Structure 1
């Protein structure tokens, strides 16, 4: 067996270390460049946001005539979405919401949907050198959860999101449409918090086995966007007539709170790192959330 030294590439992910600053960064710059070339976006305009504020996608924008179907037949929509998905899985939580929305229309994509995918690619062109940075932060696992109430244009289901941060950068994230239809913001937030808590429990057990983060023995704090109702539901069912239709699997959250695995707390939307994972935000807000996630341009830290 030969020692090849420190890893610099793993599965197309570039790793850079600065031991003097105790910082490690990962990026997929080369992969982004290949994707842009593959979909003829290498010389496109550079976008500032992965999804434009106010954009609404739905099945109503799908092809309705033979002419429209023929036009979309040769568009590599599903392939582009799949390529972007690989980025989101490993280093690009900032694109998670845009991917979640556009991936719903792979079987019925129209021009509006394809335009939304190209906007993601334009944004990736501008941010291809972005790094996910770890180091210089608290060695405490913190979670952020939120929900966008009835945001889906087709079935009025809500969007869940969560993100977990450790040592300055996000280590887990998700943006997805909820399976259950809710009729209040409290219920949507409660379901999102339940999904975040299950992720927190898995991460807590995993990190405990590694034995490198002493603080993991404490309850993992999950921050919600100022929703007292959702926090109250997590601690004790006070409005059974309102929440009784929520699937039993989501009520596992109460058990985890009760035994001290997680703890729920409030945070404003501005401070919630998970905020851009359920809806498009302004350019200023997007930049602020990038910093909170630990996403920075290469020239800002090398």
Structure 2
């Protein structure tokens, strides 16, 4: 009998006969237990009916999967890039759909009407503006397109009268929020989609047909504007006049500062 060097306990000696007769608990086999015989090559085979997809499709290798991943990354990269010109936007279907959506908004609000081209009339050209809107995590939220007028060619007194648009002063907003907090009130915020397109236009202004969306029956016609699209010099003023008129009709009134704020 030996002694354990760590604990000082006697270690019983086991003879060769005893060690050969000792059976490990991991090697105990019950006599009634039958070991299953696998008739298939792989134990994880499944029925073909449970497979989703084409059975005849070859197995993709790692190289093929890598190439597919690169194509996905490249496609996502193209979507996140803002086109500079109309021709660049034609390479992605998402931008084409966004342009059509913006034009549908023009038709819904009745921004313009198609008219024959007149002589000695200034025609303002249009331009597509492309913008990728991101969320707070940096993901793509929306591909936004806006059709704007090149209003820098307008002349005061000819195709616009007033371009001044009053805005709220920061001090007025501070006073408003302080009063709301003091009275324990709730503030609601809203956004008007394509706000400028709701402003009525009183001047006679003509614009060209947008690139890619020219009327096939009347390719030489132009649009006579009823509303003020983005880019026109009088567009901010037209939107303010329309908004203030609506608020006053709903029993709102202007504050002492004139243009800063309206209240009930």
Q: TM-score, normalised by structure 1?
A: 0.22
Q: Which protein is bigger by CA-based radius of gyration?
A: 2
Report the structure, 1 or 2, having the larger strand content.
Answer: 1
Report the structure, 1 or 2, having the larger helix content.
Answer: 1
Q: TM-score, normalised by structure 2?
A: 0.24
